[in-house]
Amino acid sequence: MVNDLPAIVLSERFNEKGIKLCLYILITFVLIISSCVYDPPRPSVEIWNKTDRNLTVELFFDKENYREWWSEHDFKVFLTDSYARAGSEQHKQLISTDTVNLVQRYSLFPDSYLSIDGWGDKDETVLFNKIKVIEGQDTIVYSNIVEIKKSSVRISRTISRLEIN
């Protein structure tokens, strides 16, 4: 019985330290998990310039959707802060923004693309409702989301590609 006393004391200390360690690990795990927020990728359309000339791309935004989801000031700031993205900033250039008619105009260089958020899949709002592509004297107009979807190819779950040849 005398020889068992140190084992009992050691066992109690281990249990106390083990419980504290487990609690510490559990709290750390919960904090890490609760701080991680999954932000799924947003659906988008990539407009690819497959020609050997610069294109002008005009994006016409849906006034009804913008009024429903944005204050007028916030949307104007959104437009002037350059809505679309490109693989590299040197491949596209924001030419102008019309905050009255809600139109943006971009110059898109050869063999580059312009990526536009707001495709309209699932619960996403459709921020644009018309795209006009101008190549010299030729103009292609996609007058609604249905035409844009029909003319583009789905390349992943969230990305569709519209190629201009």
pLDDT tens for 116-155 read: 776 555 555 556 788 899 988 899 999 887 888 888 888 8
Across residues 12-39, what is the average pLDDT? 75
Whole-angstrom Cα Rg for the chain: 27
- Check whether residue 84 and residue 120 sit in a common domain: yes
- Check whether residue 130 and residue 90 sit in a common domain: yes
Beta strand pairing call for 44-49 and 159-164: parallel
The domain tally of the chain equals 2
Helical H segments across the chain, by residue range: 5-35, 63-69, 72-80, 145-151
d(CA 29, CA 73): 41
Containing domain of residue 146, as a range? Answer: 44-164
- Check whether residue 129 and residue 50 sit in a common domain: yes
pTM for this prediction: 0.65
Predicted pLDDT of residue 86: 47
Per the document, the length of the chain is: 165
pLDDT per position as a tens digit, 58-109: 988 877 777 676 676 776 666 666 555 544 455 667 788 887 788 888 888 8
- Check whether residue 26 and residue 65 sit in a common domain: no
